[in-house]
């Protein structure tokens, strides 16, 4: 079993390590911290991630940080040697991130007291915003990094975690 896991970790076209710059993280509540931890866990369990135009093919490590109102994705080899820095403006994500967090806050409040139909309606809205953010991320990464939608969804969650300053 351990041998199969090591082989899966060395597959090309995937991430084997994800870190968030601690200086970029705000003081988050426990719900946001949990979302971040789950996103990293799920991302490492299953992902599709490749540098476009790079001959190596991975596996890769990824470090996410914020610098001068930009998202910085530092992609490295398995030994963490940096291969590429991709910088994206956060401006196109601002409205989505803000709306997503408003929906998340509504959801966390609703699960405490609201009827199931209300919780489901809020969750559908939250998922819709999450999907929109994931598609935007894939679009912004086009020509640099190729991902599938599931990987982009988890990365969008991590972008929100970095972006959220409590």
Give the start-to-end residue ranges of the domains of the chain: 2-163
pLDDT of residue 13: 86
DSSP assignment of 111-135 equals: HHHS-HHHHHHHHHHHHHHHHHHHH
pLDDT of residue 165: 53
End-to-end CA distance of the chain: give it in Å, rounded: 40
Q: Name the pTM for this structure.
A: 0.84
Flag residues of the chain having pLDDT under 70.
Answer: 1-12, 24, 26-29, 31, 164-166
pLDDT of residue 53: 83
pLDDT tens digits for range 36-79: 888 899 999 999 999 998 877 789 999 999 988 899 999 998 88
pLDDT of residue 2: 41
Alpha carbons 45 and 106: distance in angstroms, whole number = 29
DSSP state of 46: S
Strand pairing of 60-67 and 15-20?
parallel
């Amino acid at each position: 079993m351990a041998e199969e896991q090591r082989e899966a970790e060395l597959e090309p076209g995937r991430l084997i390590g994800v870190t968030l710059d601690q200086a970029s993280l705000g003081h988050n509540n426990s719900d946001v911290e949990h979302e971040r931890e789950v996103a990293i866990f799920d991302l490492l369990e299953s992902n599709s991630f490749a540098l476009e135009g790079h001959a190596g093919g991975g596996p890769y490590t990824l470090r996410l940080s914020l610098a001068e109102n930009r998202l910085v994705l530092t992609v490295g080899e398995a030994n963490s040697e940096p291969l590429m820095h991709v910088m994206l403006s956060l401006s196109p994500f601002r409205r989505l991130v803000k709306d997503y967090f408003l929906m998340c806050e509504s959801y966390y409040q609703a699960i405490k007291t609201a009827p199931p139909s209300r919780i489901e309606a809020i969750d559908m809205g939250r998922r819709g915003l999450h999907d929109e953010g994931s598609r935007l991320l894939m679009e912004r990464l086009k020509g640099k990094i190729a991902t599938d939608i599931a990987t982009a969804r988890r990365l969008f969650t991590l972008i929100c975690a970095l972006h959220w300053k409590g």
